[in-house]
Structure 1
Amino acid sequence: MSRTYSPRQIALGVIALAILVYANTLANGFVYDDISIVQSNPYITDWRRIPWLFTKGYWSHKAGGGGNYRPLAVVTFALEYAVWGIAPMGYHLTNILLHAANVGMVFHVLRLYRASLGVAGVSALVFAVHPVHTDAVASVVGRGELLGMFFGGLMWWAWVNARQAGRRSRDRAQPKLRGVWRWRGAAALAYLAALLSKENMITLPAALWLAEVLHARRACLAHGMWTTRLSCLWHLTRPFWVLAVPLVPYFWLRSLAGEGVSQVAGVGAVPLAGYTLWQRAVIMLESGLTWYRLLFVGYPLRPHYDGLNVTVTLDWTWGKLAGLLLNGGLVVALWLTWRRAPLVAFAIGFWFITLAIVSNVPIPLGALFGERWLYVPSAGYAVAFGYGVWLAWGKAGQGRWVASAWQLRPETIQLCLLLMAGCTIGSYVYRTTHRNLDWRDNYTLFSRFIETDPQHPTGYVNIGDVIMRSQPEQARVFYEKALELEPRQAVAGLTLAAIDIGAGAFEPARKRLERMLTKEPPDLPLPSNHWSLTHALYAQSLAALGERERGRQEAQTALRYAPDAPQALLTAGEAFVSVGERSTAIEVYRRLVSLLPHAGGPRARLGVLLLEAGDAAAAERELTIAAQQLPDSPLVKDWLEQARRQAAIQP
Structure 2
Amino acid sequence: MSRNFQNILLVCLLAVFSFVLYFNSLGNAFVFDDQHTILDNAFIKNFSSLPLFFKGAYTSVPDVPRGMFRPLLLVTFSFNYFFSGIQPLGYHIINIIIHFLNGVLLYLLLRFLKNSLPFGLILFFCLLFIAHPINTEAVTYISCRSDLLVTFFIAAAFIFYAKGRKAVSLFLYICALMTKETALVFGFLAFAYDFIYSRQAESKKKMFIFYLAIIGITASYWIYRGAIFHFGATELFLPAAKSTLRGFWPNIFIQSVISIFYLRLFFWPHPLNLHHEIPDYVSLFHPAVFSAVFAISVMAVLIFVLKKKYPLASFGLAWYFICLIPKFYAPLSFPSMEHHSYLPGLGLYFILGQICEEFYLKSRRRFIYLASVFIGVFTLLTWSRNAEWKDGLSLYTASVRDNPSSSVAYNNLGIQYANMGLSEEAEKAFKKALVLTSSVDVHINCRLNLAKIYLNRKRFKEAMDELDRALIIKPSYSEIYQSYGAIYSQMGQKEKSEELWKKGLSFNPRAVGILDNMGMFCLEKGRLEEAELYFRAAIKYNPDDANAYFGLGQIFEHRLNNAQAIKAYEKSVFLNPAYGFLHYCLGTLYAKKADKRAFWHLKEAIRLSPDLAEAYNNIAIFYASMVPPKIDLAVQHAKKALSLGYSVDKEFLKLLGLPESLKE
Q: Which residue of 1 aligns with 2:341?
A: 374
Distance in 2, Cα, partners of 1:486 & 1:380: 35
- 2:615 aligned residue: none
Deviations 1:562-586 (A, max 9, x none): 3334345445556777999775444
Q: How does 1:560-599 map to 2 (within 5 A)?
A: 560-571=506-517, 573=519, 584-599=530-545
1:81 CA displacement: 0.8
Moved more, 2-11 or 443-452: 2-11
How far 1:341 moved relative to its partner? Answer: 0.9
CA contact (8 A) 2:157 2:172 kept: yes
Q: Distance in 1 between matches of 2:58 and 2:189?
A: 26
Show CA shifts across 1:177-217 (max 9, x none).
Answer: xxxxxx43322221111111111111122112211332335
Aligned with 1:483: secondary structure?
Answer: helix
Distance 1:295 1:465, change over 3 A: same
* Corresponding position of 2:57: 57
Whether the aligned pair in 2 keeps the contact of 1:537 and 1:571 (CA below 8 Å) is no
What residue in structure 2 maps to residue 468 of structure 1? 418
Q: Larger deviation: 508-517 or 285-294? A: 285-294
How far, CA to CA, are the matches of 2:58 and 2:133 in structure 1? 26
Q: CA deviation at 1:74?
A: 1.1
1:325 aligns with 2:294: yes
Match of 1:485 among 429, 436, 460: 436
Deviation at 1:374, TM superposition (A): 0.8
Match of 2:171 in 1: 189
Alpha-carbon spacing, 1:430–1:100, altered in 2? closer, same or farther (3 Å) = same
2-side partners of 1:108 and 1:540: how far apart?
58
Work out the number of aligned pairs and report it.
585
CA distance in 1, matches of 2:531, 2:273: 41
Rate the CA distance shift 1:558–1:391 in 2: closer, same or farther, 3 A.
farther
User: Residue in 2 aligned with 1:534?
Assistant: 480
Q: For residue 229 of structure 2, give the secondary structure of its aligned residue in structure 1.
A: coil
Q: Which amino acid aligns with 2:357?
A: W
Query: Which residue identity is paired with 1:334?
Result: I
Instruction: Give the structure, 1 or 2, with the largest relative contact order (CA under 8 Å, sep 6 or more).
Output: 1
> Cα 1:631–1:508, aligned 2, differ >3 Å: closer, same or farther?
closer
The equivalent residue for 2:146 is 144
Match of 1:228 in 2: none
Following superposition of structure 1 onto structure 2, how do residues 161-560 of structure 1 map, counting pairs within 5 Å? Answer: 161=163, 163=164, 183-216=165-198, 236-247=207-218, 250-251=221-222, 253-255=224-226, 257-258=228-229, 260=231, 273=244, 275-305=246-276, 308-310=277-279, 312-314=281-283, 316-358=285-327, 361-394=328-361, 397=362, 411=363, 414-469=364-419, 470-486=421-437, 489-520=443-474, 531-542=477-488, 551-560=497-506
Q: Are the counterparts in 1 of residues 303 and 317 from structure 2 also a CA contact under 8 Å?
A: yes
Cα distance between partner residues in 2 of 1:219 and 1:580:
80
- List runs of 5+ in structure 2 lacking aligned partners: 595-664
The yes-or-no answer on 1:157 pairing with 2:159 is yes
Give the CA deviation at 1:596. Answer: 4.0
Q: d(CA) in 2 for partners of 1:58 and 1:594? A: 16
**Structure 1: how far apart are the matches of 2:198 and 2:112?**
14
Point out the more displaced range, 38-47 or 80-89: 38-47
Q: Secondary structure at the match of 1:27?
A: coil
Identity of aligned residues (%): 23
State the alpha-carbon separation in 1 of the partners of residues 195 and 2 from structure 2: 38
Q: CA 1:577–1:416 in 2, change beyond 3 Å: closer, same or farther? A: same
What TM-score results when the alignment is normalised by the length of structure 2?
Answer: 0.78
**Paired residue type of 2:428:** V
Partner in structure 2 of residue 113 of structure 1: 113
Query: What whole-Å deviation, never above 9, does each CA across 1:407-456 have from its counterpart, x for those lacking one?
Result: xxxx5xx5444444443343322222221111111111111111101222
- Distance between the aligned counterparts of 1:623 and 1:152, measured in 2? 46
- What CA RMSD, in Å, does the superposition of the two structures yield over aligned residues? 3.7
TM-score relative to the length of structure 1: 0.80
Query: For residues 430 and 159 of structure 1, do their structure 2 counterparts lie closer, same or farther at Cα, with a shift above 3 Å needed?
Result: same
* Cα gap change, 1:143 to 1:271, in 2 (>3 Å): farther
Runs of 5+ consecutive residues of structure 1 not aligned to the other structure: 164-182, 221-231, 398-410, 525-530
CA deviations on 1:222-276 (whole Å, 9 max, x unpaired) are xxxxxxxxxx7786354222223333553455346437599999xxx99974654
SS in 1 for 2:186: helix
Whole-angstrom CA distance in 1 between matches of 2:384 and 2:436? 29
Name the counterpart of 2:637: none
Shift of 1:349: 0.4
Contact 2:451 2:463 in 1 (8 A): yes
- Distance in 2 (CA, whole Å) between partners of 1:352 and 1:11 is 29
Structure 1 residues 65 and 38, CA gap change in structure 2 (3 angstroms): closer
What's the CA shift for 1:293?
A: 1.9
Structure exhibiting the larger radius of gyration computed from Cα positions: 2
